[in-house]
C-alpha cells in the first residue's frame, strides 16, 4: 500500500501529540506535526519515534498565513499530495493574558472574541483552503476539525443537557462556527472521495482540559484517529464523539 501522509497542527503536545502517536503507529501512515516552537516539535518527534510512530515536524503557527504557504510547499515538493489533515490547533479564552476561562455573551471583550475566532475558526478555514488542492490529489482525503461538545447549539439551548451551564461564549461560538465550516465543506466535496467531519475529543486531562478532566490523554485521540482513517463507506459532514453522532 502507498504511504499516507498526515498533517496534524499543534501536534507537539496534548491531544495533538497523542493523535500523532496513534496515527503514526498505524501501517503506511507518516505523520507530520506542526509546532510553533520547532525545538519542542523536534523533542516531540523523538518521543513519537521511540513509541514506534513514523513522524516528522515542521515549524508551523496556524495563525501565520506565511506558514500556510510553507506547509503547502513542504507537502507539495516532498509528497505531491496530502491524505489527512487534522485541524487540531486551538485556544481557550483563558489563553489570552488577563482573561479567565469563562466569558458571558454580554460582556466578552471584542479583542478576546476576535483573538479566539482567529485561531479556532479563521485560521482553520484558511489553512484548509490552502492545502485543499493537495488533499484533492489523495485517493481518499480526510479532513478532521477538532471541535467540542461546547459547540453544540442544541445542547446549549436545552436546560436538561450536560453542558447547559457550561458557557464560555468566545470558545463555544468559535467551535460552532468551525462546525458550520465542516458542514459546508463536506457539502462542497460531496461528490469526491474526501470526507470532512468534526470531532469532539472529550474532556481530556491536558493543559487546556485541566487535571479534573475525566478522560485520560490516551482516549482523547480516538475520535480524531477514527475519522482520519474512515473507509470509503464512512460518514462525511458529521459531528462525532467515540463513534456516536452529536447534535449540532
Catalytic residues: 164, 175
**Residues comprising the chain, all counted:** 248
Grid coordinates standing for 61?
503557527
Place of cell 493523535: 19
H-run or E-run covering 142: strand 142-146
Residues 25 and 6: their CA atoms lie apart, in Å, by 12
Question: What 3-state class would DSSP assign to 147?
Answer: coil
Task: Report how far Cα 71 is from the mean position of its chain's Cα atoms.
Answer: 16
Note whether 124 and 191 are within 8 A (CB).
no
Note whether 93 and 15 are within 8 A (CB).
no
Strands 29-35 and 4-9: parallel
Amino acid at each position: 500500500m502507498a504511504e499516507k501522509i498526515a498533517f496534524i497542527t499543534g501536534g507537539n503536545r496534548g491531544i495533538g501529540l497523542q493523535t500523532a502517536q496513534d496515527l503514526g503507529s498505524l501501517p503506511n501512515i507518516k505523520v507530520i506535526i506542526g509546532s510553533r516552537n520547532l525545538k519542542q516539535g523536534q523533542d516531540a518527534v523523538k518521543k513519537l519515534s521511540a513509541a514506534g510512530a513514523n513522524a516528522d515536524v515542521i515549524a508551523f503557527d496556524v495563525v501565520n498565513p506565511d506558514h500556510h504557504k510553507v506547509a503547502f510547499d513542504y507537502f507539495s515538493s516532498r509528497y505531491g499530495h496530502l491524505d489527512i489533515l487534522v485541524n487540531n490547533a486551538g485556544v481557550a479564552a483563558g489563553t489570552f493574558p488577563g482573561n479567565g476561562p469563562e466569558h458571558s455573551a454580554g460582556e466578552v471583550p471584542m479583542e478576546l472574541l476576535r483573538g479566539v475566532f482567529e485561531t479556532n475558526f479563521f485560521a482553520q478555514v484558511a489553512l484548509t483552503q490552502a492545502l485543499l488542492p493537495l488533499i484533492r490529489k489523495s485517493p481518499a482525503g480526510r479532513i478532521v476539525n477538532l471541535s467540542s461538545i461546547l459547540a453544540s447549539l442544541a445542547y446549549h439551548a436545552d436546560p436538561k443537557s450536560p453542558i447547559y451551564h457550561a458557557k464560555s461564549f468566545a470558545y463555544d461560538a468559535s467551535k460552532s462556527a468551525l462546525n458550520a465550516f465542516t458542514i459546508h465543506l463536506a457539502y462542497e466535496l460531496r461528490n469526491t472521495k474526501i470526507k470532512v467531519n468534526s470531532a469532539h475529543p472529550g474532556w481530556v486531562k491536558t493543559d487546556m482540559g485541566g487535571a479534573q478532566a475525566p478522560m485520560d490523554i490516551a482516549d482523547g485521540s480516538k475520535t480524531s484517529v477514527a475519522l482520519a482513517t474512515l473507509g470509503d463507506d464512512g460518514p462525511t459532514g458529521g459531528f462525532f464523539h467515540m463513534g456516536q453522532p452529536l447534535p449540532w
